[in-house]
Amino acid sequence: MPDRPALLAVLAHPDDESRIIGGTLAKYAGEGTRVVLYCATAGEAWRAGADPDAQRRLRRRELAGACVTLGIADLRLRTYPDGGLDRLGADVLAADIAATIRECAPHVVITFGPEGRTLHPDHVAMHHATNRAVALVRAAVGPAAPPARLCYTTVAASVARAVGWRFPATPDAAIAVTIDVTPWLDRKRRATVIDHASQYHDPPFSNVDEAARWRALAREDFVLAADSLSLPPGERSDLFAGLR
> Where does this chain bind Zn ion (CB under 5 A)?
12-13, 16
Q: How far is the CB of 111 from Zn ion (least distance, A)?
A: 12
Nearest CB to Zn ion, comparing residues 13 and 127: 13
**Which amino acid is located at 2 in the chain?**
P
Nearest CB to Zn ion, comparing residues 124 and 136: 124
CB-closest chain residue to Zn ion: 13
Q: How far is the CB of 123 from Zn ion (least distance, A)?
A: 6
Q: How far is the CB of 20 from Zn ion (least distance, A)?
A: 8
201 vs 2: CA distance, rounded Å: 41
Kind of pairing between the strands at 149-154 and 108-112: parallel
114 φψ region: left (φ > 0), alpha (ψ -120 to 50), beta (else): alpha
51 vs 34: CA distance, rounded Å: 35
Nearest CB to Zn ion, comparing residues 80 and 240: 80
Q: How far is the CB of 125 from Zn ion (least distance, A)?
A: 11
Q: How far is the CB of 168 from Zn ion (least distance, A)?
A: 16
* Residue of 73, 64, 19 lying closest to 42 (CA atoms): 64
Nearest CB to Zn ion, comparing residues 3 and 202: 202
101 vs 125: CA distance, rounded Å: 17
Nearest CB to Zn ion, comparing residues 18 and 100: 18
- CA 236 from chain centre, in angstroms, equals 18
- CA 209 from chain centre, in angstroms, equals 24
